[in-house]
Amino acid sequence: MIIKDLNHNSLLKKNSKLDLEALNLGSFPNRKEERWKYTPLRSLKKINFHNQLNFKIEHLSSLGIPKIEGLVIVLENGKFNSSLSNIIDLKEIELLFLNGAEIANNSQEPTQKDYFNNLNASFLTEKVILKIKPNININEPINLVNIISDDNCISNTQFNIDVFENSKLHIRQYFLGSSNSKDGFINHRNQVSLKSKSSLTIDKFQDLNHNFNFCNEFIDQEKESEFIMNTFSASGVILRNNVFCNVYGKNCHSELNGVFAPIEKQHFDNYTIINHFVADCKSFENYKGVIKESGVGVFNGKVIVHQNAQQIEAFQKNNNILLDEESKIYSKPELEIYADDVRCSHGSTTGRFDEEALFYLRSRGISMKKSLELMTLGFINEVIEKSNDSMYKEFLLKRLLKD
């Protein structure tokens, strides 16, 4: 992987190319590493990226998403696009945009031995800090949109979301790739901090078309906080979602749900780690995979219950449906438990649709295509239902079922 660095970055002079493997970012992940066992990165590795940041999109509607209201922050090709954004002044929210040299001054990067995380830190072009003041309940969702619209463009962006005591926030995050661009790459990082009794729900929607998207999510939870993340992966060459949820306070609720529907050799990988450091917490995971047309799905979830973290209730569920001969699923739900008074379990199933149920629908004059669609709908609905906005639900179903 080579990046042509045309921007501000102090790492290199202008117009020079940067071989990422030569950079000291840690070794480029390969399949011998347990974390990357099921996700080969050959197709990403051979691309020569540039980070020349320019705007190409004129209207958000051209990307096939429904009309978004309220606060909208749009980053296009790694840079804040003010004409697409809708910055309304909300006095409850402190909003801060950092780019260029400001990032360097504000950087407080933890030293992680993760390649893409380091890549993000080294080439970060836009960092948005959102702070929600204490005792505030924001009902209208905030929209964070990340677009890639330029071929071979690499976008390294970051959102810092701090929710203070007793506040509640709902975020809709979109990762979109324009249908006429290819080999673009959004390498994004979300840094979430939840203070006590706060609550955050993130609906993440990924529709990258012929582009790549990796997300590193770091969530720190303090006591009695609630974190819910619903990930909907509709398209992209390789999508990788790393979720690291660290629960530091008692009586927390952590919930990760997802639907991934790769088609046409797409490769969607969900990698989650929930770290229970203290007692009396609950965590739930529910991921549904619908895989067809040579798509590959990966679910690798891990729950770690550390010593002395008693009375933990953790549940992982992963159900997958394979719809044709060439599609594949790799499921690896893991439990690592060092405390005894816990109730932890996981379940994973893989199979196809019930022939009898299909026959039932067919015998009532419903076409094969429609029957399969109905069955798929029934299968993923459990996760889709988490959203109570009917417009958004309809949009999700339309994109995930790909009709």
Partner 1 sequence: MSYTEKELKEELDNKSYEFGFVTDIESEKAPVGLNEDIIKLISSKKNEPQWLLDYRLEAFRVWLKMTEPNWAHVKYEKPDFQNISYYAAPKKKKELQSLDEVDPELLRTMEKLGISIEEQKKLSGVAVDFVMDSVSVATSFKEKLSELGIIFCSFSEAVHNYPDLVKKYMGTVVPHTDNYYSALNSAVFSDGSFCYIPKGVRCPMELSTYFRINESGTGQFERTLLIADESSYVSYLEGCTAPQRDENQLHAAVVELIALDKAEIKYSTVQNWYPGDSKGKGGVYNFVTKRGICGHRSKISWTQVETGSAVTWKYPSCILKGDYSIGEFYSVAVTNNFQQADTGTKMIHIGKNTKSTIISKGISAGKSQNSYRGLVKIGKGAKNSRNFSQCDSLLMTDQCGAHTFPYIECENPTATVEHEATTSKIGEDQLFYCMQRGISEEKAISLIVNGYAKEVLNKLPMEFAVEAQKLLEISLEGSVG
**Where on the chain is the footprint of partner 1 (CB under 8 A)?**
34, 38, 307-308, 310, 320, 322-325, 327-352
Q: How far is the CB of 349 from partner 1 (least distance, A)?
A: 5
Q: How far is the CB of 111 from partner 1 (least distance, A)?
A: 23
The answer to whether the beta carbons of residues 258 and 289 sit under 8 Å apart is no
3-state secondary structure of 365: coil
- Strand pairing report for 154-163 and 142-148: unpaired
Q: How far is the CB of 307 from partner 1 (least distance, A)?
A: 7
Q: How far is the CB of 331 from partner 1 (least distance, A)?
A: 4
Q: Which lies closer to partner 1 via its Cβ, residue 140 or residue 334?
A: 334
Q: Is residue 132 within a helix (H) or strand (E), and if so which, with residue range? A: strand 126-132
Q: How far is the CB of 189 from partner 1 (least distance, A)?
A: 27
Q: Which lies closer to partner 1 via its Cβ, residue 198 or residue 319?
A: 319
Q: Which lies closer to partner 1 via its Cβ, residue 351 or residue 378?
A: 351
Looking at residue 242, its amino acid is N
Q: Report phi then psi at 397, rounded to 5.
A: -60, -45
Separation CA 379–CA 249 (nearest Å): 34
Q: Which lies closer to partner 1 via its Cβ, residue 343 or residue 370?
A: 343
Q: Which lies closer to partner 1 via its Cβ, residue 184 or residue 258?
A: 258
> At which residue do the structure tokens 């970051």 appear?
158
Q: Is residue 347 within a helix (H) or strand (E), and if so which, with residue range? A: strand 343-351
Separation CA 71–CA 76 (nearest Å): 16
Q: How far is the CB of 138 from partner 1 (least distance, A)?
A: 38
Per DSSP, helices labelled H in 99-216 are 101-106, 115-122
Q: Report phi then psi at 369, rounded to 5.
A: -60, -45
Q: Which lies closer to partner 1 via its Cβ, residue 192 or residue 281?
A: 281
Q: Report phi then psi at 62, rounded to 5.
A: -70, -15
